[in-house]
Amino acid sequence: MKILGIDIGGSGIKGAPVDTEAGILLAPRYRIPTPIPAKPKPVAGVVGEICQYFEWDGPIGAGFPAVVQQGITKTAANVHPKWINTNAAKLITKTTGHPTTVLNDADAAGLAEMRFGAGKNRKGVVLIVTIGTGLGTSLFSNGCLMPNTELGHIELNGQDAELGASDAARKRNKLSWSEWGLRFNDYLQALEKLIWPDLIILGGGASKKFGKFSRYLQVNAEVVPAQLRNEAGIVGAAIAAERTGS
């Protein structure tokens, strides 16, 4: 099935048509900077621009950086507060004229990794952590998604975990890979005490440098880098739309 996948982020909104049977992009992804401020109508308008760019006429799946329940965004950590309690699916559908499914962006990336990437055919508990501006998480039990886990916001050393252990924190505090790797290890160990995953998949921008910090990760679970990398959010959003029949 061909579906337009959209990955809405705090700094950029990316999209591409996806072949959901093969898990591949059918065209190079197209990126537009996220509007400032990132209010609902301007963001939905950018999604409409991406539709026009691809001359799209069909269903859309969109990953969004927030808790999403039945298409309604419940939080707004890296976007404008006006998104809270906005029916994002309805807004984007109205703006583009195409049926749209919206889900948490880390859950979208997780769906892609579980079907086509490092989590393919893996049973048990699988935790995906996306490392970027924040820390996104998605959790699967025997292939079934438990949505909106938001484990990037657990308390770690007296503060929100992503404030100290995200890739943005590494850059902001000018940490070496060893210094940041030890911080991130503390975060994974804290998660392991809560959920005991069999496999941890690391995605997001920092996963490209997995070899620079993997030696500092001392957890019981197997830890591997994501395979779909920057395409995971787009592919996973399309998978979600396929599942809902949008």
As a whole number of angstroms, the distance between CA 60 and CA 130 comes to: 22
Whole-prediction pTM: 0.93
3-class SS shares of the chain: helix, strand, coil, % to 5: 40, 25, 35
> Per residue in 112-166, pLDDT tens?
999 999 999 999 999 999 998 889 999 999 999 999 999 999 999 999 999 999 9
Token pair 């982020």 in the structure block, residue: 9
- Identify the CA nearest to 183 among candidates 148, 150, 218, 209: 218
Amino acid present at 181: G
Structure tokens at 246: 């949008």
CB pairs under 8 A, 24+ apart, for 10-13?
10/34, 10/38, 10/65, 10/78, 10/79, 10/133, 11/133, 13/43, 13/46, 13/47, 13/50
N-terminal to C-terminal alpha carbon distance within the chain: 11
| Tokens found for residue 61 | 């799946």
Q: How many whole angstroms separate alpha carbon 242 and alpha carbon 235?
A: 11
Q: Which CATH architecture has domain 118-226?
A: 2-Layer Sandwich (3.30)
Burial 209-219 (b: 16+ CB within 10 A, else e): beeebeeebee
**Average pLDDT, stretch 182-194?**
97
pLDDT digits (tens, 9 = 90+) for 54-104: 999 999 999 999 999 999 999 997 789 999 999 999 999 999 999 999 999
Provide the pLDDT for residue 246.
Answer: 58
Instruction: Break the chain into its structural domains and give their ranges.
Output: 2-104+233-244, 118-226
Say if 2-104+233-244 and 118-226 have the same CATH topology.
Answer: yes
> What CA–CA distance (Å, rounded) separates 97 from 109?
25
Alpha-helix runs per DSSP H in the chain: 40-53, 88-96, 105-116, 161-165, 167-172, 177-195, 210-213, 232-244
Percent of the chain with pLDDT over 70: 100
Helix (H) or strand (E) holding 31: strand 30-33
2-104+233-244 is a CATH 3.30.70.1290 domain: no
